[in-house]
A = this chain, B = another copy of it.
Amino acid sequence: MSQPLRVGVAGLGTVGGGVVRLLREQADLLALRCGRPIVVVAASARDLKKKRDVDLSGIRLESDPMALATAKDIDVVVEVMGGSDGPARQLVEAAIANGKSLVTANKALLALHGAEIARLAEAKGTLLGFEASVAGGIPIIKALREGLVGNRVKRLYGILNGTCNYILTTMRETKRDFGDVLAEAQKLGYAEADPSFDIDGVDAAHKLSILAAAAFGAPVNFAGVHVEGIRRVGALDIAFAEELEYRIKLLGVARETENGIEQRVHPCMVSNKTPIAHVDGVFNAVVVEGDFVGTAMFQGRGAGAGPTASAVVADLVDVARGHGLPPFVVPTAKLSAKPVASIEKRRGAYYMRLMVLDRPGVIADITAALRDENVSLESMLQHGRSHGPNDSVPVVLVTHETEELAMRRAVTRIAALNTVIEPPNLIRIEDF
């Protein structure tokens, strides 16, 4: 059997611990499948005294991750510390500079510095694996770089944040409101104490920018992602969505258009007949539309020690097998920066939920505003009556396909009506 692949794991948190455990438990299986053993020779952690429930015997422990980048007995560094800058970035750059291959689960790092890190790796001829950075255990980076490599991707979209999907699923199942479900998710450990990174869509946007780069052969462009989170999705919206036979999902959508690359993360209404509508709870899913393959969907657990370790190890096996390719499929010199296609040009249908005073002429004013912006209406829902002239009732309008900019102008007009007492809640309807 050939030389073992010698691994250094930087970070012994949930993911790092999972990687060490997987490599130990499946050592024989992996040696058989790779033709050589994969062995963790060293690991680093901030606090080496912390008690961990993973067997670290035989593993050299370092308090400074940079020791892994320079160690002579390490072939590949696994970076699972996290953080877009600081120690993680320094480690990654140093490891590559020392000719080591690099496997990372760090989406923030890649979203912000992916193109540069790919260039470094390419210049050194080392491999850069980042399967674990997007959608946990789902081998979606491999699908884009290899399994679907014969396709021009026309569009891809996905549920990229398990916390948001868990919250939206629970809101639908229990008919409870956002704040209530978020608090529960925090108690259960599905949401962080500071949940903004997840629920404001930033995490999903990191992942989307990485997927788009691999799919379209463009440098990662996180700054080009339009981002909205799920805070404004109410129990009322979920209920109206059910009635309209939609589900509300926080999706990342990326598309190559005539005007450039469109990347956006926001709550979407999707038909309950489309498969992604049925991806519930903490599951993630990515749909890829290719010109030959048609529509393909990949679904699985988007986070957690096991799924993430599964993805990290898949990258390690590629390194062990010597299967290299440019990180974003084409050589970095050939990655072509493309303009950002503004969301203002989006064409599609819209759901708009208003809280209005129940007075004569309200609907006439609203529909006149839509008419003035050339937005045509597909349907309107109104339930219940108010209990007095200052009490509000919800009204839902669903438009035909229109342009985002026209819709925004209509919303501005409608928001200015003094019978409309809350900012209109606009949710884009995606036609998959």
Residue of B nearest to A217 (CB): B32
Are the CB atoms of A292 and B18 closer together than 8 Å? yes
Q: Which of B35, B148, B325 contacts A314 (CB 8 A)?
A: B148
Segment at the B interface, from A134-142, A235-243, A393-401: A134-142
Q: Bound complex: CA of A138 vs CA of B138, how far in Å?
A: 13
Within 8 A of B (CB), among A179-219: 217
Per-residue CB contact flags for chain A residues 102-118 toward chain B (1 = under 8 Å, else 0) read 00000000000000000
Contact A279 B275 (CB under 8 A): yes
Report A308 CB to chain B, min CB distance, Å.
Answer: 9
**A residues bordering B, Cβ < 8 Å?**
18, 22, 26, 29-30, 32-33, 35, 131, 137-139, 142-143, 146-152, 217, 275, 278-279, 290-301, 304, 306-307, 309-311, 313-314, 317-318, 321, 323, 325, 329-331, 334
On chain B, the residues within 8 Å of A30 by CB distance are 149-150
10 nearest interchain CB pairs? A139-B147, A150-B313, A296-B300, A137-B293, A293-B310, A292-B306, A297-B299, A292-B310, A323-B323, A294-B301
> Whose C-beta in chain B lies nearest to the C-beta of A278?
B278
Cβ-defined contact, A317 with B22, below 8 A: no
Q: Are B314 and A149 in contact (CB under 8 A)?
A: yes
Taken together as a complex, chains A and B put the C-alpha atoms of A309 and B290 apart, in Å, by 12
A147 — which chain B residues lie within 8 A by C-beta?
Answer: 131, 139, 142-143, 314
Nearest chain-B residue to A294 (Cβ)? Answer: B301
Point out the residues of chain B lying under 8 angstroms from A329, CB to CB: 33
Is A152 within 8 A of B300, CB to CB? no
| A142-B147, A150-B22 as given contacts; A290 in contact with B310, CB under 8 Å | yes
Copies of the chain in the assembly: 2
Establish whether residues A137 and B296, one from each chain, have CB atoms under 8 Å apart when the complex forms: yes
Question: Contact at A146–B318, with CB atoms within 8 Å?
Answer: yes
Complex: how many Å from CA A304 to CA B307?
32
Judge whether B146 and A139 touch: CB under 8 Å.
yes
Q: Assuming A275-B299, A291-B306, what are 5 further A-B pairs, CB within 8 angstroms?
A: A32-B217, A137-B293, A146-B314, A293-B310, A297-B298
- Asked if A295 meets B290 with Cβ closer than 8 Å, knowing A278-B275, A278-B278, A317-B149, the reply is no
Q: Given known contacts A275-B278, A307-B294, is B149 in contact with A33 (CB within 8 Å)? A: yes
Decide if A294 touches B334 in the complex (CB within 8 Å).
no
Asked whether, in the complex, the Cβ of B295 is within 8 Å of the Cβ of A151, the reply is no
Instruction: State the Cβ distance, A374 to closest chain B Cβ, in Å.
Output: 36
- Across-interface contacts of A295 in B (CB, < 8 A): 300-301
**Most B C-beta atoms less than 10 A away, residue of A150, A304, A306, A323:** A150
Give bound CA distance, A131 to B142, whole Å: 14
Report the minimum CB–CB distance from A275 to chain B (whole Å): 6
Known: A292-B309, A310-B290, A329-B33. A139 touches B150 (CB 8 A): no
Measured between alpha carbons, how far is A278 from B306 in the docked complex, in Å? 26
Nearest CB of B to A93, in Å: 25
Which residues on the B side are within 8 Å of A151 (C-beta)? 26, 310
Q: How far is the CA of A296 from the CA of B298 in the complex (A)?
A: 7
Q: In whole angstroms, what is the CA distance A35 to B326 when docked?
A: 10
